[in-house]
Amino acid sequence: MRERPYLRPVQDSDKPQLDQWRAQYQAGTLELPHGYFGDSVETQVAESPDGTLLLALTGTLVLSLDPLITNPDAKPQDIGHVLSLVEAILVAKGVEAGALDVYVAVPRALAGYISLLEHRGYTSTAEGCVIMRRSIVRPRPEVDKNIAESVP
């Protein structure tokens, strides 16, 4: 038996157990629109020292569009037209970088913006969840130190 948890990429043999756990999850739908692995998708699993599967976490390369900053004096129709153009440029750049999905955080109060996004093919996801962000590019020595110290 190992002394520590074992981390590894997901294997085909893990899928039935993971799919069962996903189906049993009561707090919401655990989406996997691109599966457990593939281009721009990877899943890592953790096993206990005795080999029991503990968890899986899937990472997908995505594009996040946020924040939208607009001129409060601009006409809504002007904003809508150029917003579509700017969004198309950013999405194209995301696709070039390997992104598989685009995410936009929108306050529920902005019904017009939500309607515009739905018209452009966006769908609501992660209902009831809080969207969290963590920068992985700029140095964050104190946070990184805390993370490193917490790993067994």
Structure tokens belonging to residue 95: 């696709």
Asked whether residue 31 carries a pLDDT value surpassing 90, the answer given is no
What pLDDT, on the 0 to 100 scale, is given for residue 140?
65
For the ranges 23-27, 58-62, 128-132, the one whose mean pLDDT is highest: 58-62
Count of CB atoms situated within 10 Å of the CB of 115: 10
When pLDDT is averaged across residues 62-83 and rounded to a whole number, the result is 90
pTM here is 0.75
Asked whether residue 122 carries a pLDDT value surpassing 90, the answer given is yes
Q: Whose structure tokens read 């700029």?
A: 138
When pLDDT is averaged across residues 125-149 and rounded to a whole number, the result is 76
Query: What is the crossing angle of helices 111-119 and 76-96, to 10°?
Result: 50
What pLDDT, on the 0 to 100 scale, is given for residue 76?
85
The Cα-based distances of 134 to 131, 138, 144 in angstroms read 10, 10, 11
What pLDDT, on the 0 to 100 scale, is given for residue 101?
95
When pLDDT is averaged across residues 78-102 and rounded to a whole number, the result is 93
Domains of the chain, residue spans: 6-60, 62-152
CA distance 38 to 41: 5
Nearest to 29 by CA among 126, 104, 149: 126
For residue 151, name the pLDDT band (cuts at 50, 70, 90). low
pLDDT tens-digit map of 8-20: 999 999 999 999 9
Asked whether residue 118 carries a pLDDT value surpassing 80, the answer given is yes
CA distance 59 to 47: 18
